[in-house]
Amino acid sequence: MDYYTVLQFGSVMSLVLLVLALGIYVRAVAGVRHGLSSSTVRALAFFGAATVTIGVIVLVGVFWPDLTAQRLPITFYMVFLINAVIHIATDSSVIHRLGYAGTTVLIGLAVIVPIVLDPTTTYELMVLSLAVLFTLTLLLTVWILYSSPSPFAASLLGIEGSFLIVWTLILTGQLITNLQLMPYVFVPAALSAALLASVTRPWRLIASLYTVFYAVMNVAPIALALALDADYFRLAFVVIATLPVFASLFSLDFFAQQATTTKASVPSYITASLVAASLLVTLHIVEWAFSYPNLVLLDIQWLEWVLGNGTIGAFVVAAIATITKRYVSLARRVFLVFVTVVSVLAHDFASAGRWTLESLLWAPAGMLVVGIVAYAYTVRRLYRLGARTAAGYFAWFMLSIVLLVFAVMLSFVIPVPITLFLFVGVSISLLLSSPTLRHRLRSRTS
Amino acid sequence: MDYALVLLLTAYAGIVISILGIVIFAATLKQIGSSISATTRKALILYALSLIFAALTSLATLYSFEWTKTLYAIALVTLGSSAATAYIERRLWLWVVYILSAFFLTATIVTLLVTGLAFRLMFYVAILVAGILLLVSLEVMLVSPSPFSISIFAVSLANFAYGSIVAAGPLTRFPQYSPIALLIVSIMAPTLASVGRPRRLILDLAMVSITLGSGLPIVIASMLSNDFAIYSFVVPSMIVSLLWVLPLDFFSKEAAETKARTPKFLALTTTSMLLIGVSHFVNWAYAAEGLHLSGEDAGTLLLSVIHGVWDPYIVYTDWLLGLVAVSSFMLAALTATYSGWAIEWGIDSLLVFSSVLIVLGFPWINAGRYELELLYLPLIVFIVIAVGLMSKIMIDLRRLGRDTAAKRLLAFTVSALLASGVVLYSDRSQLIVNIIIWVLTGLILLKSVPSEAYGTLKRSFRPMVRSRGA
């Protein structure tokens, strides 16, 4: 499997997904256009354009590693973004026109400057102007978020933050030289696509869509490259291992809905656990596929470690929240600190080769044991109270997380068929833990 | 500077502090003796006895391991009996505790006379007893929280820690940790001295005794050996630490009266700033001592940068206290401006942020690969955000027309910033700059409390004006 091909496929795939999401976004915004002021509509249009440009930046970065090739995409991204922010911040048409004039000047400069000046100067000018513009935009967004908080402003901040990741990867050249960092590149694209596709819909969709888009952007290119290589064994693994991501959608949707409507703590923590678990599966597939015959751990293992501990931590706190309401925030803080400490200890900066992740495995294992005990207690109590279905959902959810942790932790040690079996088990128990799905199935069969 | 002298003086300071505490307690007992029950009186007297033996343990640590263990065991037994007298209601159980204590004490003394391996074993038994006492007092504290039960818990914790530290034996080997000798005394003596007085006095007096008890021995020893580099830094730093008691008293009074969260967090900030001052001058003395500067010309020293080798564990203590100070300062600002949801998120993110810095700052994780200066950058960002949040409150206060309150808050913030400046960069700047900043900190600190606060602090020392009415 050629890793560079995977990256190219992935960048095309992310752009395609972004354009599809843009289509959904345009339809949704067009539907509610009449209720909005003209400057809001323009802000939304600029926001959509800026979001898709992130996909273009990734695509250009992958196919043309030359930094000066980025001047137009990044300039366009910045002017789209800053115009979106300006249109939310003020209704004054003078400032809007100033924004347009500045946009024209900047794009003109981006075209003309490379012709006049040598590449090094162009590059330096680009970095400088980008830094200034980006800081300005960031400050404006923070100000908007502070003065009138809205999901839109928050997502603007999210897009800007994820742009920072891509920009760092491009600037340091790691996008091409260190292919292991591929999963980082698709974070902004997946987030943007999820934001675009869930506009005017319930905000909880962002979580579900993000996990799916992220899985597709990472796994589909790998699967495609494997199919081209006729490497059907790994292809089968990759496809089967992705099943939990889709299986978790049903429970994720249900619990996220519960969390947003009832503001209860148990569904919120289960949602967090499921999102982390689903991202963990995606990352693990990438790591496994990249390293299969040798099965050595890659750089992204730290991210996996953080996500895995986060999954288990949220899972345990959810269990504690079912038992007692009084100590939920105390438990959350204890596990937050624990997961942070274990994550820091696992990082290369802290360990410096003195210890490995294996020597820290007691931490997630200990948390898992606490979680299993807590869930067993809750399930038994619910069962005795007569709420057998509810007890069943909890039991299946517990089983899915436990199996997932085993699959991820042991997949480099045990034979591949057993890992696949575990992943199938995770998918089945995730499906069984979703009340909506089971309800639907039962109403159809009876 | 003679470190053996520092240790000896610290142990004597502990004895002086405990005698002062007991004298004040005796005067109180004479006045209110008739109004308290016989059990309470008995418990308090046993507590005072335990204090004397704890102070003697610190002194014995310097001379003889055998006496340390025996005195430690007596201090433990009297403390346990005091707690049992106060909290056990059934006479039978009380007698069981007394008999067990007597048995433990007899066993300790008998093994002292026989000596040998069995005696060493008895010390571990004593530490075990301290551990059991710790668990029991935790239970008591959770069931009925009162100043007495909380102090019993704190003292048990201190006893357990002290026993473990002495068993490992670092106090004579690493004399720079001399303040450990004051661990127990500086909790127990203030508790006794403030019986029948406002509760916040316990905290004030504890801070005063820690500062003076660990500072004065260093000052005396360094003056005797003409170590200008040490006492010229320690004296102003000690005075600033004493001045922090003023805002501490003010904030804890506010916290007790209004039950608000902001003064509680500000009191926590003040306590940690005070303790940072103490641990910093202790470490300064150690670092300067390592350079053998005694007898150097004062003028030369004032203009030179004194950059010695610091004890990594005291530096880490500074680091922890500093993180507590900044976090609580930020939380004070958050609780004053925002409500429920934002505070919860604030606490959570502060926890994550601080635990990252706590792990990375730990000497074992660091293992000499990087200086703590590397971690100053995130810490300074943290401080800037906290000060930014606090400035918003000051501006709001000014808008509301409460200029004096805004100015006091400004003075408090500025002095905290100046003090952290010295703590962060004292080994990078000239001695005279450090001294000037300490003096400035002290002067600005005086402006941070309303002038009534001096009177309140003085009044709370006056015997028994309030408790008679109550």
pLDDT in tens, B339-356: 777 788 888 989 999 999
* Residue partners of A114: CB distance under 8 A and separation at least 6: A68, A71, A122
Task: Fill in the amino acid letter for B93.
Answer: W
Per-residue model confidence (pLDDT) at position A295? 61
Q: Where in chain A is CATH 1.20.1070.10?
A: 234-446
CB B78 within 8 A of CB B46: yes
Task: Match 């998918």 to its residue by tokens.
Answer: A427
In angstroms, the CA A237 to CA A38 distance is 50
* Residue partners of A40: CB distance under 8 A and separation at least 6: A87, A88
Q: How confident is the model at residue B466 (pLDDT cuts 50, 70, 90)?
A: very low
Kindly report, residue by residue over A254-311, the tens digit of the pLDDT.
888 888 888 888 888 999 999 999 999 998 888 888 877 766 666 778 888 999 999 9
Burial A271-294 (b: 16+ CB within 10 A, else e): bbbbbbbbbbbbbbbbbbbbebee
Tell me whether residues B347 and A336 touch, CB distance under 8 A.
no
In angstroms, the CA A431 to CA A441 distance is 11
The verdict on B153 and B193 lying in the same domain is yes
* pLDDT of A409 over the 90 cut: no
Per-residue model confidence (pLDDT) at position B36? 80
Comparison of pLDDT for A290 and A321, the residue scoring more: A321
State the nearest Cα–Cα gap between A337 and chain B, in angstroms. 6
The verdict on B283 and B368 lying in the same domain is yes
In angstroms, the CA A208 to CA B173 distance is 60
* Domain termination site, one of B190, B209, B226: B226
Kindly report, residue by residue over B118-144, the tens digit of the pLDDT.
566 777 878 888 888 888 888 888 887
Per-residue model confidence (pLDDT) at position B467? 44
A419-435: average pLDDT: 88
* pLDDT of B400 over the 80 cut: yes
The verdict on B323 and B369 lying in the same domain is yes
* Residue partners of A435: CB distance under 8 A and separation at least 6: A254, A389, A393
Other Cβ atoms less than 10 A from the Cβ of A438: the count is 17
Kindly report, residue by residue over A87-140, the tens digit of the pLDDT.
888 778 888 888 888 888 888 888 888 788 887 787 788 888 888 888 888 888
Task: Tell me which chain B residues have a C-beta less than 8 angstroms from the C-beta of A329.
Answer: 344
State the SS3 of chain A. CCHHHHHHHHHHHHHHHHHHHHHHHHHHHHHHHHHCCHHHHHHHHHHHHHHHHHHHHHHHHHHCCCHHHHHHHHHHHHHHHHHHHHHHHCCCHHHHHHHHHHHHHHHHHHHHHHHHCCHHHHHHHHHHHHHHHHHHHHHHHHHHHHHCCCHHHHHHHHHHHHHHHHHHHHHCCHHHHCHHHHHHHHHHHHHHHHHHHCCCCCCCHHHHHHHHHHHHHHHHHHHHHHHHCCCHHHHHHHHHHHHHHHHHHHHHHHHHHHHHHHCCHHHHHHHHHHHHHHHHHHHHHHHHHHHCCCCCCCCCHHHHHHHHHHHHHHHHHHHHHHHCCCCHHHHHHHHHHHHHHHHHHHCHHHHCCCCCHHHHCHHHHHHHHHHHHHHHHHHHHHHHHCCHHHHHHHHHHHHHHHHHHHHHHHCCCCCHHHHHHHHHHHHHHHHHCCHHHHHHHHHHHC
The CATH number of residue B85's host domain is: 1.20.1070
Tell me whether residues B348 and A345 touch, CB distance under 8 A.
no
Tell me whether residues A336 and B351 touch, CB distance under 8 A.
yes
Write down the ipTM of this complex.
0.81
User: B305 by DSSP, 3-state: which?
Assistant: strand
Which pTM value belongs to this model? Answer: 0.84
Q: At B430, phi and psi to the nearest 5?
A: -65, 150
The residue in chain A having the minimum alpha-carbon distance to the alpha carbon of residue B359 is A341
* pLDDT of B209 over the 90 cut: yes
Tell me whether residues A336 and B359 touch, CB distance under 8 A.
no
In angstroms, the CA A7 to CA A21 distance is 21
Other Cβ atoms less than 10 A from the Cβ of B400: the count is 10
Per-residue model confidence (pLDDT) at position A419? 86
State the nearest Cα–Cα gap between B383 and chain A, in angstroms. 19
The verdict on B422 and B304 lying in the same domain is yes
Interface test with A, best of B337, B365, B392 (most A CBs within 10 A): B365
CB B72 within 8 A of CB B166: yes
Burial B8-34 (b: 16+ CB within 10 A, else e): bbbbbbbbbbbebbbebbeebbeebee
Tell me whether residues A337 and B359 touch, CB distance under 8 A.
no
For the ranges A88-102, A176-190, B113-127, B192-206, which has the lowest average pLDDT?
B113-127
Q: How confident is the model at residue B469 (pLDDT cuts 50, 70, 90)?
A: very low
Tokens at residue A18, please?
A: 């972004």
Output the average pLDDT for chain A: 85
Tell me whether residues B355 and A344 touch, CB distance under 8 A.
yes
* A352 interface with B at CB cutoff 8 Å: yes
Size of interface A-B (CB pairs under 8 A): 32
The residue in chain B having the minimum alpha-carbon distance to the alpha carbon of residue A331 is B348
Comparison of pLDDT for B463 and A217, the residue scoring more: A217
Per-residue model confidence (pLDDT) at position A301? 83
CB B242 within 8 A of CB B206: no
* Nearest by CB: A333 against B351, B358, B367: B351
Per-residue model confidence (pLDDT) at position A372? 92
* pLDDT of B157 over the 60 cut: yes
* Nearest by CB: A344 against B347, B348, B356: B356
Among residues B329, B232, B242, which one has the least CA distance to residue B277? Answer: B242
* Residue partners of A255: CB distance under 8 A and separation at least 6: A267, A270, A271, A274
State the nearest Cα–Cα gap between A136 and chain B, in angstroms. 19
Comparison of pLDDT for A171 and A431, the residue scoring more: A431
The whole domain housing B310 covers 227-470
Other Cβ atoms less than 10 A from the Cβ of B97: the count is 17
* A350 interface with B at CB cutoff 8 Å: yes
Task: Fill in the amino acid letter for A184.
Answer: Y
Comparison of pLDDT for A149 and B305, the residue scoring more: B305
In angstroms, the CA A212 to CA B428 distance is 53
The verdict on B310 and B424 lying in the same domain is yes
Q: DSSP for B12-66, please give it.
A: HHHHHHHHHHHHHHHHHHHHHGGGS-HHHHHHHHHHHHHHHHHHHHHHHHTT-HH
Query: What's the structural domain count of chain B?
Result: 2
Per-residue model confidence (pLDDT) at position B470? 36
* Domain termination site, one of B226, B258, B288: B226
* Phi-psi domain of B450 (left: phi exceeds 0; alpha: psi -120 through 50; beta: other): beta
Tokens at residue A204, please?
A: 């909880």
* A333 interface with B at CB cutoff 8 Å: yes
* pLDDT of A63 over the 80 cut: yes
* Domain termination site, one of B179, B200, B226: B226
* Residue partners of B255: CB distance under 8 A and separation at least 6: B263, B264, B267
Burial zone of A27 (CB within 10 Å; 0-12 exposed, 13-18 middle, 19+ buried): exposed
Comparison of pLDDT for A121 and B116, the residue scoring more: A121
The verdict on B231 and B246 lying in the same domain is yes
Task: Tell me which chain B residues have a C-beta less than 8 angstroms from the C-beta of A330.
Answer: none
The verdict on B120 and B196 lying in the same domain is yes
Burial zone of B417 (CB within 10 Å; 0-12 exposed, 13-18 middle, 19+ buried): middle
Per-residue model confidence (pLDDT) at position B242? 92
Output the average pLDDT for chain B: 86
CB B55 within 8 A of CB B74: no
Per-residue model confidence (pLDDT) at position A294? 67
Interface test with B, best of A338, A344, A345, A355 (most B CBs within 10 A): A344
The residue in chain B having the minimum alpha-carbon distance to the alpha carbon of residue A337 is B352
* pLDDT of B281 over the 80 cut: yes
* Nearest by CB: B360 against A329, A333, A350: A350
Task: Tell me which chain B residues have a C-beta less than 8 angstroms from the C-beta of A327.
Answer: none
CB A245 within 8 A of CB A307: no
The verdict on B298 and B395 lying in the same domain is yes
Domain formed by A234-446, architecture: Up-down Bundle (1.20)
Comparison of pLDDT for B147 and B362, the residue scoring more: B362
CATH value of A1-230 in 2.60.120, 2.30.30, 1.20.1070, 2.60.40: 1.20.1070
The residues pairing with B430 across neighbouring beta strands, listed in sequence order, are B305
The verdict on B259 and B208 lying in the same domain is no
Q: How confident is the model at residue A445 (pLDDT cuts 50, 70, 90)?
A: low
A368-384: average pLDDT: 91
* pLDDT of B274 over the 90 cut: yes
CB A1 within 8 A of CB A231: yes
CA dihedral A384, A386, A387, A391 (to 10 degrees): 30
The verdict on B67 and B86 lying in the same domain is yes
The verdict on B177 and B99 lying in the same domain is yes
Task: Tell me which chain A residues have a C-beta less than 8 angstroms from the C-beta of B348.
Answer: 332-333, 336
Greatest mean pLDDT among B87-101, B141-155, B255-269: B255-269
Per-residue model confidence (pLDDT) at position B207? 93
Comparison of pLDDT for B459 and A361, the residue scoring more: A361
Comparison of pLDDT for A89 and B383, the residue scoring more: B383
The verdict on B259 and B151 lying in the same domain is no
